[in-house]
Amino acid sequence: MHVQEWLDTVPAAAVYAVVGLVIGLESLGIPLPGEIILVSAALLSSQSGGVDPVVLGACASAGAVIGDSIGYAIGRKGGRPLLAWLGRKFPRHFGEAHVATAERSFHKWGMWAVFFGRFVALLRIFAGPLAGVLRMPYWKFLIANVLGGIVWAGGTTAVIYYVGVVAESWLKRFSWLGLVAAVLIGLTSMLILKHKARKAEAAQQEPAPVPAGE
């Protein structure tokens, strides 16, 4: 079953909880499809009145901020041994090459890596724990974390919601245009067939030409 189809079968409160939880766990450092869940839920909110996009965006933002903060605390306490352990457990996401890339981004951009990392799948998982491992001052991390979480979660929800509304409106218009076009094509085809039938009937009723000399 597709994610959006599954979300459509549960109450709105469960949708908010699932979105907040999955995004929180992803931000904490667990590789989960937080962005897919958020996009699916936002699209659902544009098609159903049961899911409020404002509440959805708030839950997603809260999950992102809280998850990143917990990840920061875990990274600060666990240090580099934690990254090594994660690399053994999740080599696809926490392999040495990925850790090195994320670390270079942090050294180069500092707190901006936390903010913009929210928009990149790999850095979204790394941001909290790696900021803690690298001992980034918590106040810098918190500012970037809160701003990044709100802009990413709220912005994604708003964009997907309005895109879904516009798309649904255009699809409705297209369905009416398609119906009108089908009727016009049907009427035109019927008139052409009637015209051809009349021509054929008139040709049959014409007297055959009399041969010369008779």
Q: What is the pLDDT of residues 128-163, one digit of tens each?
A: 888 888 888 888 889 999 999 999 998 888 888 887
Cβ-proximal residues to 30 (8 Å cutoff; 6+ apart), any chain: 125
Q: Which residues contact 55 (CB under 8 A, 6 or more apart)?
A: 12, 16
Note whether residue 7 is domain-resident.
yes
Question: What's the total number of domains in the chain?
Answer: 1
Query: Is residue 73 a part of any domain in this protein?
Result: yes
Q: Classify residue 190: in a domain, yes or no.
A: no
pLDDT of residue 93: 63
Chain segment 185-205, per-residue pLDDT in tens? 556 655 665 666 566 556 655
Give CA separation, 169 vs 5, 111, 166, in Å. 21, 41, 5
Q: How far apart are CA 48 and CA 51, in angstroms?
A: 6
Q: What is the pTM of this model?
A: 0.68
Between helix 34-47 and helix 53-89 the angle, nearest 10°, is 160
| Cβ count near 71 (within 10 Å) | 26
In a domain, 149, yes or no: yes
The boundaries of the domain holding residue 43 are 3-168
Whether 86 is covered by a domain: the verdict is: yes
Quote the percentage of the chain above a pLDDT of 70: 66
For residue 172, pLDDT over 70 is answered with no
